[in-house]
Chain A
């Protein structure tokens, strides 16, 4: 594709997305399938605009984001703490190693009814379910990161007179930050996936709950508008994490190499 300028390539990429949307529109307007199965893209856009204007979907977005991010924050803080403890304290490693090795690949979503039984169907239950689903990749990443901090760095800091406290906050944590952040970047999409399933099964509004209600009332433009909103949120969160990573790791070779 050397014959295309960078601008031409970017234009082509957008064109392919526009082409698919146009195809969607044309396919729906040709009524090959009913409007119920595939409402025209324009109908979905108008519906999304109305939902935004009426404020209904804003409330849903806020609820979903609140629960997903609260659960994610809980998973991030406890996961980093547990991961570093596992790397540093042999007893913790002995205890947590089997739990983590089972918990990471296991389909945690199956525990959803257990969380309903223990914590009910309201925010607490949803937030804890999100945290439980998202914590394992964070633990594993922090553990590997803390294990991988170069001993030379620690020795140099020690010989320069750093205490244990400064060693942790000023050497070990920054040095393991890239890997920990990769774990967080895995955990965030999981948080959103699980929160949407939470809302679909437990109710309590939010984007997932509202989509389910609309599905039960056979309101298919509403369902598609909701999915579109979720797609926008998902993209925004992924982009936000990339930006935060870039800011936090400005000093790191990965960022320096990218901007060079």
Chain B
């Protein structure tokens, strides 16, 4: 019901090129886009390029989450690390991460490695900030009680600090997820021989606009559903907090 207003929009989209209000080259009708999508599905383009993109996205994001949580929590836990790393993070935070894509291409070439590195760098800081703020905000009483009950510092880290910091870590990861899509697609649009961004720009340059729209909508839909799925999992993961 909530998504009902999309229906008239889709009808208008179908009607405008058919009635000659806009050229079908500029806006192919929905039906043509759907047919192009099915064609992409059948001939395997969607599977090949979609999988390539998802692999790079997952690799960069996973790397960003692991390194980011480790960095953020150790910044909160050991003040020397904080003194060393925090100023750098503050300096790097406002750098628009897309500017690093050419540097990643210089370093890692045109293939998957430069895409993974771009996604990783894009995801890193939001996760670090989430983990740092989350771990720093853990109530001292919890830590003291655990220590008094005989827990070792390492155990406190894993069993008290990490769980208590989890909401902010997960919120940071959600930002990272959105950024990972932006950086991956941007990197693929800029230079690539594989992936959804490559598919979109090669259809655009070749004038296959119905297929281009199909690929654009696919990426948008995957990004949207990834966020929804993440919210769902986040809700489940934090259910113990009530």
Interface residues of A (CB under 8 A from B): 1, 9, 12-14, 16-17, 20, 36-37, 94-95, 97-99, 101-102, 105-114, 116-118, 189, 192-194, 196-197, 200-201, 207-208, 211-212, 214-215, 220, 223-224, 226-227, 230-231, 234-235, 237-238
Contact = CB atoms under 8 A, between A and B. Distances in A.
B19 interface: no
Interface of B: 2-6, 26, 79, 83-88, 91-103, 105-107, 178, 181-182, 185-186, 189-190, 196-197, 200-201, 203-204, 209, 212-213, 215-216, 219-221, 223-224, 226-228
Tell me the interface secondary structure of chain A in the complex: helix
Contacts of B182: 107, 109, 193
B87 A13 contact: yes
Contacts of B209: 117
5 contacts: A36-B106, A105-B178, A197-B190, A230-B99, A231-B94
B95 A230 contact: yes
Given A105-B224, A223-B102, A231-B95, A113 B86 contact: no
Contacts of B221: 106
B94 A110 contact: no
Contacts of A108: 220
Contacts of B91: 17, 231, 235
Contacts of A110: 185, 196-197, 200, 215-216, 219-220, 223
Contacts of B83: 1, 9, 12-13, 16
A114 B86 CA distance: 40
Given A109-B182, A113-B203, A234-B96, 6 more contacts: A105-B228, A111-B220, A196-B99, A200-B102, A201-B201, A226-B99
B5 A197 contact: no
A260 B215 CA distance: 54
B190 A200 contact: yes
B185 to A, nearest CB: 5
Contacts of B87: 13-14, 16-17
A174 B236 CA distance: 38
B33 to A, nearest CB: 12
A51 B157 CA distance: 49
Given A16-B83, A20-B88, A118-B26, A107 B185 contact: yes
